[in-house]
A = this chain, B = another copy of it.
Amino acid sequence: MSDNKSVPTMKDVAREAGVALGTVSKVVNGIPVGEEYRLRVEAAIEKLNYRVSSYARGLRSSRTYTVAVMVPNLISPFFSKLVNCINHELSARKYRMLFYATDYDPAQEQELVHLAEQQKVDGIICLSYNPQLQVSPDVPLVSIDRYFGAQIPCVASDNYGGGRLAAEKLVENGCKNLAFLRIGSKLTNEPNKRKDGFIAGCEALDVPCTLKIIDDGTPYSAFFDFLEEHFHDGKLDFDGIFCVTDSMAHIIRKALIQRMGLRVPEDVQIIGFDGVQSFGDLEYTCSTIVQPLEAIAANCVELVLSPRGENAPALICLPVSYAYGGTTKA
């Protein structure tokens, strides 16, 4: 084989197969073509080891087989596992993934969305912290965890149901006095509903519930102060705590043990949210409400690649589940 060191083009394939350029294009794109022609072209492609140039294709047509994925970072295990799932789903469909980290910066995120739009990606999957994201109607965009309105599909876990489930599990395990701890942006996004669900669960079960919600940027000591206010004579007012995040659950657990000498789960039970596992998915770091990452990823990809304006639901809400992780009695 005379490897002429240059990457073969469609023209080379056409010459090799003795057919016209357009015919090769059709074969490559799965457009029906005469059996005999198809075989000749396929043989030539094989022989020359031809691969379609995504740049030429992207320039000429509107299909680039590329999807942009934007999350704040890959440090948080929730984000990185989510991106891992999305990547899996995309590559199964022969799509490429252009990755962007936004670092929670709304401006940069907006910039990246505009960039991706003008770069003609086939779609954008975005976990956004920008409340008023400007998007072009030309490029399909799917949002995770933030609902922008009917024109932008949003995929999220059943945060409300998850909050409720947390309350139910704590009460099932014998808790009589619950607390909810949350730190986060003031933005209203889907995860906020965890609180509402938790409150609803507490009310339905007739269990008292105290909330402590602090803004992003506030130091964690605000939580420790809160807990110490409710700590008298070696006893905490609460016997069950729902933390908005596994990461927070871990911090709170540590504080309760180290600062107040409490035992977890004997004295206080804790439930987190996300379903983050450590060490290559070997174990849960705390009892938690698990988000269905594979399902979220699959829905995002499905939505972003299917033509817009369909009868697609604007908000897809996926079921969560409870997982024992040692910080509850069961």
Q: A84-B73, A98-B97 are in contact. Are A120 and B55 (CB under 8 A)?
A: yes
Q: Would you call A75 an interface residue if the criterion is a C-beta within 8 Å of the partner chain's C-beta atoms?
A: yes
CB neighbors of B among A53-94 (8 A): 53-56, 58-59, 64, 73-77, 80-81, 83-84, 87-88, 91
Q: A75-B281, A119-B51 are in contact. Are A91 and B87 (CB under 8 A)?
A: no
The secondary structure that dominates the A interface is mixed
Contact yes or no, B280 A247, CB < 8 A: yes
CB neighbors of B among A88-146 (8 A): 88, 91, 96-101, 114-115, 118-120, 138
Q: Would you call A1 an interface residue if the criterion is a C-beta within 8 Å of the partner chain's C-beta atoms?
A: no
Contact yes or no, A98 B101, CB < 8 A: no
13 contacts between A and B (CB under 8 A): A7-B120, A53-B59, A55-B64, A59-B59, A74-B74, A74-B80, A74-B83, A77-B77, A77-B80, A80-B80, A97-B99, A97-B100, A279-B285
Binding site for B on A (CB under 8 A): 5, 7, 51, 53-56, 58-59, 64, 73-77, 80-81, 83-84, 87-88, 91, 96-101, 114-115, 118-120, 138, 246-247, 250-251, 278-282, 285
